[in-house]
Amino acid sequence: MEILVKKNKPKKSIVLDTYWKFACERQNVFFNKMINNHQILTNDEILKKHKFTNAFRASDRVSQYLIRNVIYRQKDQNESDLLLKILLFKIFNKIETWELLISEFGDISSSSFNFNEINSVLLEAMKLKESIYSGAYIMASGKSIFGFERKHENHLKLLEEKIINERLIEKVKSSNSMEELFRILLDLPTVGSFLAYQFAIDINYSELVNFSEMDFVVPGPGAKDGIRKCFTDLGDFNETDIIKYVTDIQEDEFIRLELNFKNLWGRRLQLIDCQNLFCETDKYSRVAHPEISGISNRKRIKQIYKPKTTEIRLFYPPKWNINHIVDLSLKTEG
């Protein structure tokens, strides 16, 4: 990635220091969960009370489940089936929904995908008042395109028509960059720019493509809020430039603030991680810096932290070449 050279640098606010401090302490919480068995996670009162994603996106519970239990669950998966599974999982983005479908069908494949059968299972879950979608993000309903009243039915039809019937895998495999993959996904009905980028990152966890997470970034609405709080003036930079800028200077910033940031076993924060951190800093600063407003002017953090009882067995994309270090580190610490 090219180092940004701009004449007018952005002017930081006090929240940028909070951005780095939050990243450091949230990563400490991550390691404390892995090593200290949930005893003492943090002394930060905001982190104790509220739910925040990890400093590294791939460490989040849902991402970890996707990587281990969907993408790398089976060796030598059919590429078209693998793409279908990734997008089916991510559209709902909920572990319980995926496990419900797997318990009913055993496996999901392009050849066995049956709209009516899957729809029936999801409708039954909804009758039992179960939420089949995660609240992490919202997809457009797709009613105007596919014609169904229920959102999930339009999304199932999206998978059937665009991913299976139109052989999306061929376009994905022919993509030459993260940005090109993003553009392919952006062409899908109901998928906006934020989700197209998130889906591109998820597909890139697999062996279907192999792009650097430092190649391309798309700032989401929450990140834009966080950026406006961290900088009083963007200078010659836009939001994408800002994300690249902070990613470039991360080590210098941790040194400046005398923070002992524990990276991901040698892997530094990538563009996707710094993008997410702006979103989380926006939320954190609603309590830490209530006097500083972002674009949305939100004042509260809605999600309360509730510890999960199920243990995460850490597993990252093998092409990152860190899993052996992770295993050794956890055995040593344990």
Give the integer Cα–Cα distance in Å for 160 and 58.
28
- Cβ neighbours of residue 103 closer than 8 Å, sequence gap 6 or more: none
Closest residue by Cα to residue 151 from 185, 193, 119: 119
Q: Give the three-class secondary structure for 267.
A: strand
Q: Give the three-class secondary structure for 231.
A: strand
| Helices vs. strands in the chain: H and E counts, helices first | 15, 2
Q: Quote the pLDDT of residue 334.
A: 53
Q: Give the three-class secondary structure for 278.
A: helix
Q: Quote the pLDDT of residue 293.
A: 87
Q: Quote the pLDDT of residue 225.
A: 96
Beta bridge partners of 50: 304
Cα 201 to chain center, whole Å? 8
Residue found under tokens 């700032």:
219
Each domain of the chain, given as residue ranges in start order, spans 11-59+216-333, 79-175
The backbone torsions φ and ψ at residue 235, rounded to the nearest 5 degrees and listed phi first, read 60, -135
- Identify whether the C-beta of residue 24 lies closer than 8 Å to the C-beta of residue 259: yes
Q: Quote the pLDDT of residue 2.
A: 53
Per-residue pLDDT of the chain (334 residues; tens, 9 = 90+): 555 566 688 999 999 999 999 999 999 999 998 876 557 889 999 999 999 999 999 999 999 999 999 999 988 899 999 999 999 999 999 999 999 999 999 999 999 999 999 999 999 999 999 999 998 778 888 999 999 999 999 999 999 999 999 999 999 999 999 999 999 999 999 999 999 999 999 999 999 999 999 999 999 999 999 999 999 999 999 999 999 999 999 999 999 999 999 999 999 999 999 999 999 999 999 999 999 988 888 888 888 888 776 777 899 999 999 999 998 877 666 5
Q: Give the three-class secondary structure for 11.
A: strand
For residue range 194-229, list pLDDT tens digits in order. Answer: 999 999 999 999 999 999 999 999 999 999 999 999
Tell me how far CA of residue 103 lies from CA of 73, 108, 164, in angstroms. 15, 11, 22
Query: What does the CA dihedral 60, 63, 69, 72 come to, rounded to 10 degrees?
Result: -120
- Identify whether the C-beta of residue 118 lies closer than 8 Å to the C-beta of residue 125: no
- Cβ neighbours of residue 225 closer than 8 Å, sequence gap 6 or more: 278, 279, 282, 294, 295, 296, 298
Q: Quote the pLDDT of residue 300.
A: 85
Name the pTM for this structure. Answer: 0.94
For residue 190, give the amino acid letter. T
For residue range 9-44, list pLDDT tens digits in order. Answer: 899 999 999 999 999 999 999 999 887 655 788 999
